Structure formats: C-alpha cells, structure tokens
Amino acid sequence: MRILDIRERSLPISRYAGPARQGALTTSVVAIITDVVKAGRPIVGYGYASVGRYAQSGLIRERFAPRLLQAPAETLIGDDGNLDPFKAWQAMMTGEKPGGHGERCVAIGALDTALWDIAAKAAELPLHAHLTGRLGAVSAETNKVRVYASGGYRHPRDDLSLLADEMRRFADLGFFNAKMKIGSAGLDQDLRRIEVAVAALGAPGRLAVDAMNAYDRSAGLEAATKLSPLGLWWFEDICDPLDFETQSALASAYTPPIGAGEALFSAAEARLLARHGGLRPDRDVLLFDPVHCYGLPGYLQIVEAATLEGWARQAFWPHGGHLFGLHLAAALGLGGAEVTPFAFQPFCGLADDSVIADGYVTLPQAEGIGFETNTALKMLFRELAG
C-alpha cells in the first residue's frame, strides 16, 4: 500500500446551527488517497482538525504531508502490508523539536485521523474494533459509548429561549447529560442561563458548564463560590490552561468535579496539569482532544502520563464531538465522549443511523471511522477526494 496523494481544504465552521451565524472559526479537512482499490474505488482515509481551533493548511501542505509523500514507502508499512499509522506518525515528526505544541499538533492530528481511517478500512473493521485488536482489549463494552451533548453558546438575541429549546432538544434526542458555555455574559446572567438549562434538562447533575478559560484568579474564585452549591455535573476550563497555580487555587475552592485539559496538547503538559493543577483523580475529568494532541500516538502518551499520576482511564472524555474520539472512548475504555448535535455544521452529529438512549450511543459499524455514515460528511469528503 502506498500513498498516492494528500489533499487538504480549509472550511469555515460556526458555533451555531444557523449558517448565517458564522463563528469565524475554520478547520482543515484532509483526504489521503492510497493505491489499494476495493469495490472499484481506492481506499481513502478522511480526517479533519476537530473544532475550536483553526485550519492548519500551511503546516499540512508545506511540512507534514510532504514528509509522508517523500518517505520511502517501505518505512510506512506494517507487518500486514498496509500503512502503519504509528510509523507514519514517526515520519511526520522527523526533525521536530520539543515544544511548539499549539499548532503543529493539530495538523499532525488531522492527518493521523485519516491514517487510522485507512488502517481500519484495510483491515475491514470499524476503527474501535481494529484498535481493540491492535492495542489489546481494554474495554469489555465496545458496542456503545456514554456521551453528552455539547452546545449552549450565547445567542445575540433571544438567548434564554433558544438555550432552553436547545437543551430540551438534547434530552429529546436521548442525551442524559449536556454542556453549555459560560464566562462571556457576566456571572449574574450566567447563573440565569444555568437556571434555564437545568430546568430544561430536569436536574442540575445533568448539566456541565464550560467557561472556555475565561476567568482570572479573582473572577474564577467568585464563580466557584456561586457555582459550588448548584450540584453541576462538572465545571470546565475555568482559567488559562497553563496557569496551574490559579487552577490549583480554584480546585481548592470548588469541591464538585472540575473538567480540564481541552486546551493542552502534549504528554508534558498533561504531567504538569496532573502534578500542579490541584485536580482530584477521584472526581475530576480530563478533556484532552485526541485530534488536537497529535492524533492517537500523542493521545496514548497523555493517557499513559495521567494514569501514572493516579488517574483512571474512565476520567478521560475526549473533546470535540468527533467520531474519532467516539471510537477511542470505546477501544480504550474511557469514560465517554462529547457530541455536538447542532453546532459546527457539517461536523456535527453522529452516524445517520446512530441510536442514542439513556445517554449512550451505538457505535458505527462501517469500516474505518465511519465518516461516510453521516450524509453531510460523506458528501464533503467525497468531493475533496474527487
């Protein structure tokens, strides 16, 4: 198996469901085309750079895709004669220095996703089943995964009514837990928004809140004081992700569960968070995004680093609402995964035939990651691949 071509495109994405409400974000979509033909079509691996950051077109086109295309083909092949994503990852990382995680990790993660799509398709297995065999069985349950619905961005008009409607729609779809955003409207308004969301979901323990790293020490402590009695599921991304001193102080002031890690991208940063962030392995959750963390090889390093610091795998909930993260949650025995049912179109939702019940979703059974089981993504990726 050889790589014939790698194609990348930058696309705008929105935090809102309506196409008129663009959130000024972008993401990179990639297609890696191989020389192996099945059913009259080449095996093509698809990936995208998750959500919440920006497209990595320059890094992909000028730095990492050329390394894959220029590497001797035999250096990328595994024992089964197909592309080995671990070997391809090493080729992409050739010559890279320590540090500099904030951008290149996303570019590599997008390509790594597509490489794992190829590997699972070549093995004629859904990715979670392929990984269970490749990495060794971790989870006894790989038919369904616990999930939560993410959204709750503040709307410029009719915010409270639209928020309540969104939370009710999450519940109607079969989600038990949901997450909304805070930190941009002022604490009094955020408390009102939380009240509305809790009423729509039915209980405070079903709602997590995400401050998107907005608070400094004083604002974070004030929020922790006001939110502590509410019984929320978790309080996420409170302060600057690298301000471990403030993170530790806020963890001391907020007894209920805290979520952290979404804006950290390496095993070195994960170790710093575990050692100096004041988090509690018995209740807190780790939200690292596998695609933003150099793909699966980098994510596995983070899981290993955290478990060595006393964390259970069940504390991990991959960020991003990405089908890739759903497969990893199943194969690695993680706590669950995020889903964005409406935001970031077309990178939202799950497979067209997914069944959500009591907060669990059935896994795609198509070969590979299963992007083609989502009609909007299928059209997008097929157009990219030609």
The residue among 196 and 140 whose pLDDT is bigger is: 196
Active-site residue identified among 101, 128, 319, 322: 319
For residues 252-278, b (16+ Cβ closer than 10 Å) or e, as one string? eebebbbbbbbbbbbbebbbbbbeebb
Contact 107, 64 (CB under 8 A): yes
255/295 same-domain check: yes
Active-site residue identified among 101, 128, 179, 181: 181
The residue among 171 and 137 whose pLDDT is bigger is: 171
Compute the distance between CA of residue 47 and CA of residue 66 in angstroms, rounded to an integer.
Answer: 17
Compute the distance between CA of residue 17 and CA of residue 90 in angstroms, rounded to an integer.
Answer: 38
Instruction: Determine the pLDDT at residue 136.
Output: 80
Instruction: Determine the pLDDT at residue 23.
Output: 58
75-87 pLDDT, tens digit each: 999 999 999 999 9
Reply yes or no on whether the pLDDT at 10 is more than 90.
yes
Q: What CATH number corresponds to the domain at position 15?
A: 3.30.390.10
Reply yes or no on whether the pLDDT at 8 is more than 90.
yes
Structural domain including 42 reads 3-124
Active site residue 292: no
97/159 same-domain check: no
Is the Cα torsion angle 76, 81, 83, 85 positive or negative in sign?
negative
Q: What is the pTM of this model?
A: 0.95
Q: What percent of the chain has pLDDT over 90?
A: 86
109/214 same-domain check: no
Active site residue 181: yes
182/113 same-domain check: no
Compute the distance between CA of residue 42 and CA of residue 44 in angstroms, rounded to an integer.
Answer: 6
Domain boundary, last residue among 124, 150, 175: 124
Mark out the alpha helices in the chain (DSSP H runs): 57-59, 65-70, 85-92, 101-122, 127-135, 159-173, 187-201, 217-227, 244-253, 267-276, 295-308, 323-332, 375-385
109/194 same-domain check: no
Reply yes or no on whether the pLDDT at 21 is more than 60.
no
Instruction: Determine the pLDDT at residue 100.
Output: 86
Peptide bond into 85 cis (omega under 30): no
Mean pLDDT calculated for residue range 277-303 = 98
Q: CA angle 277-262-341, nearest 5°?
A: 145
pLDDT band at 138 (very low <50, low <70, confident <90, very high): low
CA distances to 215, 226, 278 from 154, rounded to whole Å, are 17, 20, 29
296/354 same-domain check: yes
77/188 same-domain check: no
Domain count, the chain: 2
Mark out the alpha helices in 75-147 (DSSP H runs): 85-92, 101-122, 127-135
Task: Judge whether 176 lies within some domain.
Answer: yes
64/144 same-domain check: no
